Chain A
Amino acid sequence: MTDQKLEQIVGNLLRTGVTAAAAVVLAGGAWYVTTAGAGIADYRRFRPETAGLHSVFALPGPQMVILLGLLLLIITPVARVAFALVAFALERDWAYVGITLAVLAVLLYSIGVG
């Protein structure tokens, strides 16, 4: 596989991920605005709503849908790195397989443990 071809596939992957994430956030946003749209927007005081991945599911419906969409968005660059790993392996470019593996490991560590 050539770098050019690889980049085209990565481009399509990104577009799909971003479109899906945007659609979910838009749906959650519409729901959120219809239920809470008339309330006062106050973000002056820091009141954390989440305490990690599991707490997302304890949120009210609209907020949960928005955050699920945001998670899709957050996963997009991770998927991109994972795909690059596969592509470098197919090219038998072991130096870059190592480099990409290191990036992916740090990413997954920080998302999971962080």
Chain B
Amino acid sequence: MNVLEFSGVVFAVSATAGCLGSLTGLGGGVIITPVLTLLLGVDLHFAMGATLVSVIATSSGAAAAYVREGFSNVRVGMFLEIATTAGALTGAHLVSAVPVSALAIIFGTVLLYSAWQSMKAPPRDKEPRPDPLAARLKLNGVYPGRQGMIAYGVSRVKTGFGLMFGAGLLSGLLGIGSGAMKVIAMDQVMRVPFKVSTTTSNFMIGVTAAASAGVYLRRGYINAGLAMPVMLGVLCGSLAGARMLMGARVLVLRRLFALVIGALAVEMIYSSLTGGFR
């Protein structure tokens, strides 16, 4: 494939990834990494650099639309960001010490776990216990629903904070925004409404990814020729996805989320077990 054709293919894949990424809060990395490595035979390090770029592009592209609409919770994002950036920094420094195939198996396992978790909506029948810490930190907020603004509380702040460190660690290790873990921590553990979880995740993944960018640049993971169509494609896709999210039903978004990460988990684990990774 010549450079022009390759760029076209990567652009199309990235646009799809950006759209799904901004709808689900996953950042598009879960699609771009495997497509580049498994289908296009790109070295995993280059793929990780391209994915990092895609994560920041999804985050900033989608957030430009969400923030104005009042979906994402800046305080929740900023508070949890302490944990994620610290985790990301740790992960990025460990990355050269971790073998590629093990990395892929970790990635697959995490995805599989995420898919299984998000298939089931958290039980909303029992009123979640409001966390007094959430009130002290002013984390509780409102978001736009069909009939005006809906107020919500935030639960289990400390557990969520701990999970976010893990999410950041994965982000640094794999070059993904680890949006899956972030959405799950906010949705299932902290009981933040799903749309607020995905949009706040979108905000956070960009900041977390930016924290890894320096390390990636020094190691040469970010390749200009590869990152160019990824960045432009993802931006187009994420803007389209952000528009779709506003009116989308939560159940549909939840299923889409589970479907995307479930399929990729199987794909990743299969290929790492059959020696698809060099």
Contacts and interface: CB of A to CB of B under 8 A. Distances in A.
Interface in B39-92: 40-43, 45-46, 53, 56-57, 59-61, 63-65, 67-68, 70, 74-75, 78-79, 81-82, 85-86, 88-89, 92
B34 to A, nearest CB: 15
Contact of B43 (A39, A44, A75, A114): A44
A18 B235 contact: yes
A106 B221 CA distance: 21
Contacts of A99: 78-79, 82
A42 B210 CA distance: 26
Given A22-B231, A40-B1, A107-B207, A62 B218 contact: no
B43 A46 contact: yes
A66 to B, nearest CB: 4
Contact of A25 (B5, B210, B214, B232): B232
A6 B6 CA distance: 41
Interface residues of B, number: 65
A58 interface: no
Contacts of A4: 70
Contacts of B251: none
Nearest to B40: A43
Given A50-B222, A103-B207, A43 B68 contact: no
A107 B211 contact: yes
B226 interface: yes
Contact of A103 (B68, B82, B217): B82
Contacts of B88: 110
Contact of B45 (A46, A66, A96, A103): A46
A41 B1 contact: yes
A59 B224 contact: yes
Interface string A95-114: 11001101100110111111
A50 B226 CA distance: 13
A53 interface: yes
B85 A107 contact: yes
B228 A25 contact: yes
Given A73-B231, A114-B214, A38 B3 contact: yes
B4 interface: yes
Given A6-B74, A99-B78, A110-B214, A49 B223 contact: yes
A28 B224 contact: yes
B2 A66 contact: no
Interface in B122-140: 137-138
A41 B43 CA distance: 12
Contacts of A75: 210
B220 A66 contact: no
Nearest to B227: A70
30 contacts: A7-B67, A7-B74, A8-B67, A8-B68, A41-B5, A41-B6, A41-B225, A43-B36, A44-B42, A46-B45, A46-B46, A46-B220, A50-B218, A51-B218, A59-B224, A64-B224, A66-B225, A66-B227, A67-B222, A73-B231, A74-B213, A77-B209, A80-B206, A99-B82, A106-B89, A110-B211, A110-B212, A111-B211, A111-B213, A114-B89
Interface of B: 1-7, 36, 40-43, 45-46, 53, 56-57, 59-61, 63-65, 67-68, 70, 74-75, 78-79, 81-82, 85-86, 88-89, 92, 137-138, 203, 206-207, 209-215, 217-229, 231-232, 235
Interface of A: 3-4, 6-8, 10-11, 14-15, 17-18, 21-22, 25-26, 28-29, 32-33, 36-41, 43-53, 56, 59, 62-64, 66-67, 69-70, 73-78, 80-81, 84, 93, 95-96, 99-100, 102-103, 106-107, 109-114
